[in-house]
Structure 1
Amino acid sequence: MPAAPAFWWREKPSPLARLLAPLGALYGRITLRRMRRQGEDCGVPVICVGNFIAGGAGKTPTAIAIAGRLAQRGEAPFVLMRGYGGRLAGPVEVDPAHHAAADVGDEPLLMARHARTVIARDRKAGAALARQAGASVIVMDDGLQNPALAKTLRLAVVDGGSGIGNGLCLPAGPLRAPLAGQLEQTDALVLIGSGTAGQKVGRQAPGKPLLRARLQPDAAAAERLCGQRVLALSGIGRPEKFRETLDLIGADIVAEQPFGDHHAYTAADVDDVVAQARTLGALVATTEKDMTKLAALWPAQAAAMLVAVPVTLVFEEPAAIEALLDAVSGTARATEPQ
């Protein structure tokens, strides 16, 4: 997937954005009409972890954190994903020992290492498979705009640094539908990181719970990279977020190699990066998502130079998210057969 256009993220719409705005308004109305459709009850509670925009905002780490908290409560959470970038349409449960990123997508492969995960282009079929396999709660990673399933709790993830960009709808800006309409279809916001752009979105949602959170880098990776010369390699929606993570842990970033989101790496890509890193005398730092694809391609003789940097979502006020999950857990127990 190509990188999002730079003009999306300018607070003041550019001339090109204004030119595309009428098309964006039409797209937004169609999407919002679709969002408002009544979803089908799949028999267990559904927690949707989505976002307002196209591109990365931190949905996957948020879904991992939510699934983990549900498991601690004694629930049997399954994560439901579309499987973007994979060849399998599903429904199928992801098995990291059997599937590759080319089969199921990079994010589902990563997710399956943390929670039982089902991919399905047809969300209803995916939910049915998860329930059949024992799910007491479904955590839907993405799908805020998808009306197929009735949602018990709708969380919208917002990146503090980028917010909603220029505030226009695709293709004029990053919004999938007008913000006000999407807020009507949302129960709470998860604001990740600091920044005036994200705070501005929060101020437009009075009365909605605002859950502040941060992405915490893995301690072992941070220790390995602190003070080291690093080439930053990533294929994510917003590569600048990965740079921020590396800056946070004290890495000396001497070069960056960003690819488009969900990039399908080739052996030639890897050879080029290895050669560049050796010339620079640098380690190669990458995201945990990218590592699902790079590991099989990376040459054994260069294994020591590749360092994945996992991140964990940490809620600043855990009681706030637990209060929202209380109602979901109660619903889950009520649906169990007597």
Structure 2
Amino acid sequence: MREPAFWHRPPSLLSRLLLPLGAVYGEVTSNRMQKAGLDCGAPVICVGNYHLGGAGKTPTTLALIELLRELGERPVVLSRGYGGRLRGPIGVDPARHAAEDVGDEPLMMAARVPVVVARERIDGAAMARSLGASVIVMDDGFQNPALIKHASLIVIDSHRGVGNGYVFPAGPLRAPLPLQIARTDALIVVGDGEAAAGIAAQIAARGGPVVRAQLRPDEGSIAALKGCRVSAFAGIGDPARFFATLRASGIDVAREQSFPDHHPFTPGELARLADDARRDGLTLVTTEKDLSRIGAAAASLGAAVVPFAVTLVFEDVAPLRALLLERINQVHSRRLSRG
């Protein structure tokens, strides 16, 4: 979906008119979040966000995977597979699955880590354990009560924060903010902005780690676009951040085109993008997530589509490492004592 612009502006007449619907949605979500989850038999680390739309959750998940591996764990990602047709549980195989099968984010991550897609998360967790997972990393699902979460890490964009602070459809929040903050174990603040300062202060006051992180462009991606004028396009939660990252990396962005998050590009749209780029002598560039959705169609465009990769880097990983060790060891200790 494309986020309404008023979500990220000061409260307006439209947002206030939608407050009653937001109250109903928030009540339903709150009741759901407070249901008891099932114990899947392994530590579950959830990477989520408070709101609809993008915040950097996928690169955070991949960074967390590397941290868990450094701790000696065997992480497997569990995803609902948003945008995919398969209900699962199924292990994602980039050699035989496409984004329309399993979703764009699971397909992109599967090149680096085992990923299980399942509509029913308890079934997906069982499959992840059968694949040898010592830790299950839930990609999204913070508001879903199906599984007991042993640590919930919330990702927030430092420039956008939580928008107008209202619950959907009056704003971008998935549930009332106080309830979500109360269930947050650590906050990952992406970028150098201050829009999340108030929430960060609340998390810190509760004793939770607040970890700053940056999205670092891949040097190979920058080198591939050196000296090029580019036509940039993206169908992600925050395309403007992608375009800004390109420019901050010294890339000459001559044209930018935004699409809704998880947008399924049609052959006609791709052909138009390629034709416009050829006509103006531009190089097409997009995100890794978008390229995973385009898939094999990219080869038929007659114009190269360059993926621009970014990696999330934690500024001070020690508090996050300590939290993960504590929670994982607690679960393993309980298993041994029952033993």
Which interval holds the TM-score relative to the shorter structure?
over 0.9
1:176-201 per-residue CA deviation (whole Å, 9 max, x = no partner) reads 11111110111111000121212233
2:89 counterpart residue number: 91
Shift of 1:30: 1.6
2:44 counterpart residue number: 46
- 5+ unaligned residues in a row in structure 2: which ranges? none
Distance in structure 1 (CA, Å) of the matches to 2:25 and 2:152: 22
1:126 counterpart residue number: 124
Between 278-287 and 45-54, the greater mean CA deviation after superposition: 278-287
Distance in structure 2 (CA, Å) of the matches to 1:329 and 1:18: 43
2:315 counterpart residue number: 316
1:81 counterpart residue number: 79
Which residue identity lines up with residue 164 of structure 1 in the other structure?
Answer: V
Between 164-173 and 238-247, the greater mean CA deviation after superposition: 238-247
Which residue identity lines up with residue 231 of structure 1 in the other structure?
Answer: S
Q: Normalization by structure 1: what TM-score?
A: 0.95
Between 71-80 and 171-180, the greater mean CA deviation after superposition: 71-80
Q: Percent identity?
A: 50
1:271-296 per-residue CA deviation (whole Å, 9 max, x = no partner) reads 10011111221111100001112241
2:256 counterpart residue number: 256
Distance in structure 1 (CA, Å) of the matches to 2:257 and 2:331: 44
The correspondence for 1:27, drawn from 25, 28, 36, is 25
Distance in structure 1 (CA, Å) of the matches to 2:166 and 2:301: 48
How many residues are treated as equivalent by the alignment? 335
Q: Is the 8 A contact 1:163 1:200 kept in 2?
A: no
Q: Is the 8 A contact 2:45 2:150 kept in 1?
A: yes
Between 293-302 and 222-231, the greater mean CA deviation after superposition: 293-302
Which residue identity lines up with residue 266 of structure 2 in the other structure?
Answer: T
Please state if 1:173 is matched with 2:171.
Answer: yes
Distance in structure 1 (CA, Å) of the matches to 2:227 and 2:50: 36
1:76-113 per-residue CA deviation (whole Å, 9 max, x = no partner) reads 11100000111100011101111111110111001111
Question: In the TM superposition, what are the counterparts of 1:172-211 in structure 2 within 5 Å?
Answer: 172-205=170-203, 206-207=205-206, 208-211=208-211
RMSD, aligned α-carbons: 1.6
1:113 counterpart residue number: 111
Distance in structure 2 (CA, Å) of the matches to 1:6 and 1:301: 32
1:235 counterpart residue number: 235
Distance in structure 1 (CA, Å) of the matches to 2:237 and 2:185: 25
2:139 counterpart residue number: 141
2:277 counterpart residue number: 277
Distance in structure 1 (CA, Å) of the matches to 2:176 and 2:35: 16
2:288 counterpart residue number: 288
Which residue identity lines up with residue 246 of structure 1 in the other structure?
Answer: L
Distance in structure 2 (CA, Å) of the matches to 1:251 and 1:333: 48
Q: Normalization by structure 2: what TM-score?
A: 0.95
- 5+ unaligned residues in a row in structure 1: which ranges? none
Partner of 2:256, secondary structure, is strand
Which runs of 4 or more aligned residues in structure 1 lie more than 4 Å from their structure 2 counterparts after TM superposition? none
1:32-91 per-residue CA deviation (whole Å, 9 max, x = no partner) reads 221122211100000000000011111111111111211222211110000011110001
Which residue identity lines up with residue 125 of structure 1 in the other structure?
Answer: D
Q: Is the 8 A contact 2:98 2:295 kept in 1?
A: no
Q: Is the 8 A contact 1:67 1:77 kept in 2?
A: yes
Q: Is the 8 A contact 1:226 1:249 kept in 2?
A: no
Q: Is the 8 A contact 1:53 1:174 kept in 2?
A: yes
Distance in structure 2 (CA, Å) of the matches to 1:331 and 1:250: 46
Which residue identity lines up with residue 322 of structure 2 in the other structure?
Answer: A
Q: Structure 1's 75 and 279: CA in aligned 2 closer, same or farther, altered over 3 A?
A: same
Shift of 1:132: 1.8
Partner of 1:204, secondary structure, is helix
Please state if 1:213 is matched with 2:205.
Answer: no
Q: Is the 8 A contact 2:231 2:277 kept in 1?
A: yes
Q: Is the 8 A contact 1:164 1:201 kept in 2?
A: no
Distance in structure 2 (CA, Å) of the matches to 1:281 and 1:198: 40
Partner of 2:115, secondary structure, is strand
